[in-house]
Amino acid sequence: MAKKSNQKQLSLPSDANPADDLERLISHLDTLYEQGLDCVHPITNEIVTDSQYDGLRRQLQELRPNSDLFATATASEFLSTNLKVVHNPPMTSIEKASHENLEIQETQLFKWISKTVQSAEMPEVDQASRTIQGKSYKDEPISFPESFFYQTYKLDGVAIAIYYENGKLISAGLRPRDGINGEDVTEQVQYVNGIPAVLPTNITCSIRGELICKLSDFKKVQKALTLAGDKLRANPRNHTAGGIRQFKNPEKTKRMRLSFVAYSIEGLAEPPYQTEIGRCEFCKQVLGVPYIDAELFRFENLQTLEDNISKLDFEVDGVIVGVNNLVQQEQLGRHGDPVTGNPKGKIAWKFREEEATPIINSIEWQTGRTGKLTSVAVFDSVRLAGTNVSRATLHNAGFMERNQITIGSKIAVRKAGKIIPKVIKVIDGQGKPDFPKDCPSCAQPTKLQTGGTEEMLELICTNQECPAQNISSLCYFLATFGVLGLGESRVTQLFESGLVTKPADFYQLDIDSTMKSGLTRRQATLAVAAIQMIPAPDKLANEMLEEAILLAIQSKKEVPLWQLFASFGIESASKSAGKALADHFGTFQKIRNASIEQLELVDDIGSITATAIAEFFAGHEADINALLQFVEPTASVSEGNLSGKTFCFSGGFPEGKKHWEKEVESRGGKCVSSVSKKTSYLVAGPGSGSKSEKATRLEIPILTTQQLSEMF
């Protein structure tokens, strides 16, 4: 479940600018999405659906068309690699026509069509003019040449760009959030169907498209996983996203049964086509690369395309409608940033999300690491987005109370992003929720309390020694601290045997004591090696591994100050707060001794977060002192020739932005995500766009990476 955000920081005064409000809200939702968390509205605490999110972006487009938010393409972010492929031109998203109300969605499409027809420079062609029969925008019929628009299915996969030089594949990168710095998957794509290593013609270009797992192949994948006793994949897109990110062992991608379908070709010096439909035919007929079929747009065919989804061997979530003539499409420009903004010549008609209406048979409760109880509705299995669903989150007590959800309620369930089942509303059978009076983990009393706002009601366990809270907190500590290979089942085993109850206990374990939890010697050895953060322990023989463990136990573990702070799991104070505190105070001792008033002076730390931090340190003094016997927090900002200088990076960098940020921070510099008067330098790569413009306005020096290197 998503963590509660600092409501003090997100709330706005009553006279706030509506555009500021929208920017803050959309940025908050984007952050949750990128972190794989529930996209929960910070005030109402309710899930924001895809169509509602798209509506927020449309409102912002009208109020503030040049917002910096339009300079990035929203995309999910998974396990990353330091190697980057710089996309030029950037890979951007497309404006959407999406709404639960079909009439409103149609108005969005017709408004776009009307604006596009009025803005485009019409060629002198002798073609029949078409009118969308019975449909209009502002009561005026919309007419356009027969071949003016095209339409094609919008694939629900993982976007990628593949680069060819003189007909040979040289690199491939996924679409990132900023549209520029893509994860390098050049090695992995050689195992993807439909991606040729050499083109049949000697051309230099990039081919863009979607990585997918065909439904027929996905069935084979699931069958193989079932026979092997492994966990099944949630859906084809989720499987594809993980399958292409086999950075440690690219050959594993071969077993994932992935395919590629193109939707664009970029960078051809003299393209032998002038339209989208012509580009489609060239890619299929001349290059032999699979390409999503394109045809002339007819509004009446949208429903037919949606009805035919069941006949397809791949997942789609809508239809792309765009200007067919590529010159006209380019002349229309982009929303917001002229380089990274969404193209004005295309729009995505989103299909309505599939919905089921089961009746709740039972409600299960689970206690998390902060003591909050979350609930799950259990119902007879229904089919949603290609999978059987019998459970869906009910979010929190406040959601249940407001919607009067109880056993026997008939609910509407959707799959958010076709991944996580969500309860949208109650259709029938509302009743007062029956909240458990005792914690399901420790059987101690629970209580209802308000969260960050009066509208957020939470059910919490009152027992600070609750096993569920402790196990979850211990797992969170290990994961944030950087310990790999020690999962929840092992931690539970160590906790239940009494060996580990607080983080410091992990570092008092040796192989013999760990075996007392019921593990074999090899299992205990690997567990202790994971805690001591010994690299690749499974590849070492027992004797060598045990020697490495003895050496590791004898020395303190050095960890960046911000990372140690984040591992405590203080609510609303994660990695970003840890970095801000480390930059401001410099030492761990100063952070833990700081008053609430002093903490509030730190950028991005509001009063709620400051209070939570102070209360945590006051209540966990003994545990922290015990941990510091084994752990040495190191300052995250080094002293060096860049001390006192602030850098912002924008655009694409072959080495990746993180590479340069580490270089700057290791020399005492500070890195920020946005340009302001306090910024010392902007380091710009290809596609820097609006940040370069802002830096120029503020007279902030703009550097290349070469010029930055000369400062080291």
- pLDDT top residue among 474 and 259: 259
Tell me, what's the pLDDT at 386? Answer: 62
| CA 474 to chain CA centroid, nearest Å | 24
Proportion of the chain in helix, strand, coil states, percent, rounded to 5: 35, 25, 40
Q: Is the pLDDT of residue 33 over 60?
A: no
Torsion of CA 23, 28, 30, 31, to 10 degrees: 140
- The answer on 266 and 231 residing in a single domain is yes
534 in a domain, yes or no? yes
The residue among 520, 555, 590 that closes a domain is 555
The span from the first CA to the last CA of the chain, in angstroms, equals 43
177 in a domain, yes or no? yes
Torsion of CA 260, 265, 271, 276, to 10 degrees: 90
**For residue 413, what are the contacts with CB-CB under 8 A and spacing of at least 6?**
355, 356, 357, 358, 379, 382, 384, 389, 392, 421, 422, 423, 424
Confidence band (pLDDT; 50, 70, 90) for 74?
A: very low
Three-state DSSP class for residue 500: coil
Q: Is the pLDDT of residue 82 over 60?
A: no
Confidence band (pLDDT; 50, 70, 90) for 193?
A: very high
Query: From the DSSP assignment, how many helices (H) and strands (E) are in the chain?
Result: 25, 27
Domain tally, the chain? 6
* Three-state SS letters, 2-13: CCCCCHHHHCCC
- The answer on 329 and 219 residing in a single domain is yes
- The answer on 571 and 543 residing in a single domain is no
521 in a domain, yes or no? yes
Amino acid at 423: V
| CA 376 to chain CA centroid, nearest Å | 23
Tell me, what's the pLDDT at 14? Answer: 36
CATH code for the domain in which residue 616 is found: 1.10.150.20
DSSP per position, 586-633: -SHHHHHH--HHHHHTSTT--HHHHHHHHHHHHH-HHHHHHHTTTEEE
Closest to 595 in 3D by CA, of 613, 581, 583, 619: 613
- The answer on 341 and 399 residing in a single domain is no
Three-state DSSP class for residue 322: strand
- C-alpha 459/C-alpha 456 separation (Å) is 10
Mean pLDDT of all residues belonging to the chain = 81
Amino acid at 674: S
CA atoms within 13 A on the CB side of 276: 26
CB 461 within 8 A of CB 441: yes
131 in a domain, yes or no? no
- The answer on 368 and 341 residing in a single domain is no
135 in a domain, yes or no? no
Based on the number of CB atoms within 10 Å of its own CB, is 125 exposed (0-12), middle (13-18) or buried (19 or more)? exposed
Tell me, what's the pLDDT at 28? Answer: 67
89 in a domain, yes or no? no
Query: How confident is the model over 552-593, as pLDDT tens digits?
Result: 888 888 888 888 888 888 877 777 688 788 888 888 999 999
- The answer on 603 and 516 residing in a single domain is no
- The answer on 453 and 409 residing in a single domain is yes
CA distances from 359 to 400, 408, 414, 660 (A): 15, 6, 14, 53
676 in a domain, yes or no? yes
Confidence band (pLDDT; 50, 70, 90) for 351?
A: confident
- C-alpha 74/C-alpha 175 separation (Å) is 10
CA distances from 262 to 73, 113, 157 (A): 19, 25, 11
Q: What angle do CA 445, 451, 452 make, to 5 degrees?
A: 160
Confidence band (pLDDT; 50, 70, 90) for 134?
A: low
The residue among 503, 521, 555 that closes a domain is 555
597 in a domain, yes or no? yes
State which of 19-33, 73-87, 224-238, 611-625 shows the largest mean pLDDT: 611-625
- The answer on 483 and 441 residing in a single domain is no
- pLDDT top residue among 498 and 160: 160
CATH code for the domain in which residue 663 is found: 3.40.50.10190
Confidence band (pLDDT; 50, 70, 90) for 379?
A: very high
The residue among 508, 529, 555 that closes a domain is 555
- C-alpha 344/C-alpha 94 separation (Å) is 8
Query: How confident is the model over 280-299, as pLDDT tens digits?
Result: 999 999 999 999 999 999 88
- The answer on 531 and 570 residing in a single domain is no
Task: Quickly count: other Cβ atoms within 10 Å of residue 603's Cβ.
Answer: 12
CATH code for the domain in which residue 504 is found: 1.10.150
For residue 666, give its domain range. 646-711
- The answer on 661 and 595 residing in a single domain is no
- The answer on 527 and 491 residing in a single domain is yes
- The answer on 306 and 189 residing in a single domain is yes
**pTM of the complete model:** 0.56
- C-alpha 472/C-alpha 3 separation (Å) is 14
Handedness of CA 626, 631, 637, 639 (dihedral sign): positive
CB 692 within 8 A of CB 679: no
Confidence band (pLDDT; 50, 70, 90) for 66?
A: low
Tell me, what's the pLDDT at 264? Answer: 93
Q: Is the pLDDT of residue 380 over 70?
A: yes
